[in-house]
Structure 1
């Protein structure tokens, strides 16, 4: 395990489990049951329905415990992450490892699929992405893109106003990120004004931890990937 990058928003750890443990984990993902990510509702950050994105059931650790069938090794991974010490438990990782509940599920993206710019809700302390595919080429896309600067979150207030008939908050003055925004709200102006950030390739056996206030997206998987899926364990530290 080695730290490849660290700042106040992101921590990148390469070779998190040892080689044999990673080989077992990366082989196990082909035996997991998946369903389309849009199967029960439109999961808006992942783009319009019809894109090649599939997901597994979720693992829970902490105040609630759950390990669905065929996800034993995923549960072991979440346990390992939850019990991690420094350097993972420091900086952005502290919000994930020290959370009341830690989640984990497999998400696989095919060519054309990505993730829109967004920040996580104020109900999470942070998120992690662990790349579990056995191979990935830098020409296949799928990079995690992280924007500079902390975001102002407004999704909770907007949802409350939309559901309860209250007056819509003045997001033009707040400059808040209000979730999958169809790129029509002031958050897009903010993104264009900042216009800088970092990217992290989907290197196998790479763990990326980010805090809950940073805007991020996944660059679409390129046609060069062919029938290869970008496979990752994704989870949140729940407050």
Structure 2
């Protein structure tokens, strides 16, 4: 975790720009993005920026592209630290995701193609009473509990809940996964403090607590990206 990742002026420009970009519902085109809960929740997203083997900066997302470039820059404070495996991946992505009251993210771990993820809080203000905390479970996700990542890669493979492989989610609270979570029962949380950067390993289970009604019409806005192996 790094607080005040950007200087005041750079963060001000970025946090102002998020109101002028184009968003679409995260549950769009009749598709259900399952980790983000039931369709209909107030969650919107922009198109994605790509850096690495592939390069793409959609219209109006220049400042998001600049942010991803900053992460990959050799002078970045995370380029040779714990986040090096994320920003040094073959491909690094980035998009804006905004969550309104009631929205959150189910417990899950990322696929075995993801080296890790980052979350950068870009809203200009957030109160601790508004919820939306990032929760990270202690320990790596236990192999063989949940659906295999390879079964979702577009091939013909089917889920095998007993085989060894990377865990993904959500698993709709299946008994094996819930039993494991209750046995661990500990971890850490990160409030959605503006200008805070959090990096997580792709093999840990994590979730986002729902944004509380106290947030009113304020959205929890973050740049979210993945390092793709």
Residue of structure 2 in register with 1:4 after alignment = none
Return the match for 1:218 from 204, 208, 211: 208
Q: Which has the higher strand share?
A: 1
Return the match for 1:164 from 142, 145, 156: 156
After the TM superposition, which parts of structure 1 deviate over 6 Å for at least 4 consecutive aligned residues?
none
Say whether the 8 Å CA contact 2:70–2:76 is kept in structure 1: no
Say whether the 8 Å CA contact 2:111–2:168 is kept in structure 1: no
**Alignment deviations for residues 154-191 of structure 1 (CA, whole Å, 9 cap, x no partner):** 4224447x96376x5243x7697341111024111111
Q: 1:134 to 1:86 in 2, by over 3 A?
A: closer
How high is the TM-score relative to the length of structure 1?
0.88
1:63 and 2:53 matched: yes
SS at match of 1:27: helix
How high is the TM-score relative to the length of structure 2?
0.92
- Report 1:93-172 matches (<5 A): 93-152=83-142, 154-159=147-152, 164=156, 169-171=160-162
**Alignment deviations for residues 59-117 of structure 1 (CA, whole Å, 9 cap, x no partner):** 00111110000000000000001115464124530111111110000000000000000
Q: Which has the higher helix share?
A: 1
Unaligned runs of 5+ in 1: 1-11
Number of equivalenced pairs: 225
- Report 1:34-45 matches (<5 A): 34-40=23-29, 41-45=31-35
Question: 2:25 & 2:115 partners in 1: Cα distance?
Answer: 27
Say whether the 8 Å CA contact 1:109–1:231 is kept in structure 2: yes
